[in-house]
Amino acid sequence: MSTTTRSRGSAGGGSDADAEGCDLCGLPTPTPPVTGDGVAGEFCCRGCLEITRALGDDASADPETVERELAGEADEVPDDAERTYMAVDGMHCATCEAFVSGTARTCEGVYAAEASYANDMVRVTYDPEATDLDGLSGTLARYGYGTRDPEEREAAERPDNQVARFVIGGGVFGMMVMLWYVLFLYPTYVGVRPVVELGVFDGIYILGNIWVMTSIVLFYTGFPILRGALVSLRAGQPNMDLLVSLAATSAYVYSTAAVLVGETHVYFDVTVAIILVVTLGNYYEDRIKRKAAGMLSDLAASRVSEARRRVAGDADGSGDTAVEMVALDVLEPGDLVEVRPGERVPVDGTVREGTAAVDEALVTGESMPRTKRPGDDVLGGTVVTDRPLVVAVGEDATSTLDRLVELLWDIQSARSGVQRLADKLATIFVPTVLVLAAVAFGWTLFSGGTPTDALLVGLTVLIVSCPCALGLATPLAVASGIKEAASRGIVVASEAVFEAVPDVDVVVFDKTGTLTDGDMAVLRVVGEGENGGEIDGSDALAAAAALERFSAHPLAAAVVEAAEDAGVSVPEVSADDVTVHDRGVSGAVDGERVVVGHPSLLRDEGATLSPAHETAVEVARDEGAVPVVVGRGGRSLAVLVVGDEPRAAWDDVVAAVAEGGRREVVVLTGDSERAARRFRDHPDVTDVFAGVPPEAKAETVERLRARGTVAMVGDGSNDAPALAAADIGIALGTGTDIAGDAADAVLVGRDIDAIPEVFSLSAGVNRRIRGNLTWAFGYNAVAIPLAALGVLNPLFAAVAMGTSSLLVVANSARSLD
């Protein structure tokens, strides 16, 4: 079974809803839409407007056309088309990506298919009536590509299979091959007595064993590499797998022929070394790619698959109502769905009945839940916290959470890593090496050499150019950096950290949960002192906690927790004496009526706020916090200021990352302008954008890339698209799993004071990568001409190749200190 959603937006060639959406992030716009002087377009919020004002309108290309071109989609896709994600086993390089996409598009009823080598997944837009997904899986399976539901990724056997290929095929049989070489063949090659004396017929026996074991290493352990080479030939795009396969198989074929004609100078060891080195590198790379695929599955798991829809006849809410559980696909605009406390709103819509606090943190990043009343819009994927709601399905009938899944796919699958760069170089490097090998072969024959001499020269060129050192240059330096980072409490999930961090020009910080603690807490209690002075407000806190225990609102939980932490004695209150309001709670505490909540609730209840408390309310709002007023006896008793405070080290971290102005620092938040105001005063903060939804966060990061390389630091699920869109994503380990999976580096068990270490550590690893690559390219520049001139033979070529790899290993293993 695959993860399937209705095709929407550009997949369907556009829709009216999309056409009327925000010009920055695509979210539905209010009526009237948000507009501003000097800024063309209509927006969903002030955040999107201000980002467009500051960063400009990127109209260089029509996004729908670009997405269709990337996905290979037809210009017109029916509205009833469906879209599914399938995990793909066996994609070995960027060429496999193109091959899987093209093969899937040949299946009947498939409108578009886009494979992602970065995610090991394929996204298919298809006609559910005409397309058999099992048939599509079978078509891919014929070429060696298995498919499965992305949600089964954690239970997949593929990593174990790769370990088995390496350990069984390489560790066992490869070691046995090298043992025979060390005991017998290597000594005879250099003219000394072998370690073990053997009889006249034992040479054939030994070579036969070596041939069998090398065959297992080549065709079992090296199967993915050989298949990648075959696919590259089918696709007409030569890649590194092709060059590796040619070197390994050429040594194997030549050695097999040599054995058949009675020669003992064979190069099976070259085949074994090449296959094992490249297989190990591929396994390491696959571990990194699986993290990218995991974030899509995790975010998809947060989506709602069913909804409680009111049955026909009761849609007007009159009489006895009944509900039925239905799949989201069958919901129509105007349908009424019931959402209970603790559940996610299934799709975007409008509140028809009920009033409740809705947590939008996952979708918008705003730390404070918003109270939703009849007539208010709600976003799919947000959580109803305290009371049930009845929501009328909107015109688009889709979930904002679904849009995040699509956005993550588009961003992550478009990213290019080291292997993609290597495959691009291979389109030049591989044909060049093949031409040089052919020219060397022909020149040797033309110069009077024997066919055997010519074959050895051509084989030597292939062996000496085998890109083992080039393939190891980055992975080994990265592995060393990952180990060093782990010792410092930093988990590195992508080699991109070490490649791009030293060149970062702009660092973008999410506010809530990153620069701030992210947890609602009572910051202070402003009691009955003159001029609003802060005095002991334990009585007010105790009374407030006594009533707030009966409310499910997140602010209530913060008040109760504050009372527990302060150790105050909370009076016992009967539930019968408590009334929960939309904006607070009231009831009898110790025989007196107490009201706790929004200032307007106290005014409606006839209570008067003192001038000091009125000032405290305004100060709290200016800080971006929430004032909760406690009233008793017709007057205000105290103001509880609730919010999330900045982390203690935030200003020092920002200064360290900015490096005296070398880097720009930008703060993004879904919270209000007031909540972000304090960060504008920092001298190293260049821009602060408030009220920004997740889709706009990702788009903001894309536009900031016009200023240079961008790093994004965040912690929440709503930050995942922005983390993926940035050149480098850094997530706090205290944040959500989705944010961590979308990031390139995760700070585990540490505060943001570890962020500067990410930059310094990455600079050291980057220098090591550059040193390794310099050596690898320099080696090929010297060794290939020597091999072509016949100066080297295959044995010395193998030794040179091994020595080159060992130097890369030694350089990578050095301490970074």
Give kind and range of the element (H or E) at residue 95.
helix 94-105
The predicted model gives 251-275 an average pLDDT of 86
Mean pLDDT for the chain overall:
76
**pLDDT mean over 740-757:** 73
For tokens 């004609």, the residue is 261
Assess whether pLDDT exceeds 80 at residue 76: no
27 C-beta neighbours (distance < 10 Å), count: 23
Q: Which residue has the higher pLDDT, 544 or 26?
A: 544
Contact 512, 367 (CB under 8 A): yes
Distance CA 285, CA 96 (A): 15
- Mean pLDDT lowest among 144-153, 383-392, 798-807: 144-153
Does the pLDDT value for residue 40 go beyond 50? yes
Q: Which range, 219-223, 364-368, 514-518, has the best average confidence (pLDDT)?
A: 219-223
pLDDT class of 69 with cuts at 50, 70, 90: very low
Burial track 575-598 (b if 16+ CB lie within 10 A, e otherwise): eeebebbbbbbbbbbeeebbbbbb
Q: Which residue has the tokens 């200003």?
A: 651
Report whether pLDDT(532) > 60: no
Q: Coil, strand, or helix at residue 624?
A: coil
pLDDT above 90 covers a percentage of the chain that reads 7
Residues 6+ apart with CB under 8 A from 603: 609
- Residue 397 phi/psi, 5° resolution? 55, 35
Q: Is residue 74's pLDDT more than 50?
A: no
Q: Show the tokens assigned to 692.
A: 């920004």
Active site residue 737: no
| Cα 67 from Cα 779, distance rounded (Å) | 41
Looking at the predicted structure, is the pLDDT value of residue 188 above 60?
A: yes
Catalytic pick among 510, 715, 719, 727: 510
Say yes or no to pLDDT of 17 above 50: no
pTM: 0.57
**Which residue bears the tokens 């959500």?**
736
| Tokens coding 498 | 């070490």
> 655 by DSSP, 3-state: which?
helix
**pLDDT at residue 68 above 50?**
no
pLDDT above 90: residue 252: yes
Average pLDDT over residues 468-492: 70
**Whether pLDDT at 489 is above 80:** no
Residues 816, 484: Cα–Cα separation, whole Å = 8
Bond from prior residue into 32 cis (ω within 30 degrees of 0): yes
Angle of CA points 243, 244, 250, to nearest 5°: 85
More confident residue, 750 or 352: 352
Distance CA 569, CA 545 (A): 10
Choose the weakest-confidence range: 211-220, 288-297, 322-331: 288-297
Q: What is the DSSP string of 663-710?
A: SEEEEE-SS-HHHHHHHHTSTTEEEEE-S--HHHHHHHHHHHGGGSEE
DSSP secondary structure string for all residues of 231-246: HHHHHT---HHHHHHH
The structure tokens listed for 473 are 């240059």
pLDDT at 162: 56
Q: Which two tokens stand for residue 401?
A: 């959470």
User: So what's the pLDDT on residue 285?
Assistant: 54
Closest CA to 337 of 360, 371, 357, 311: 311
pLDDT score of 70 more than 50 = no
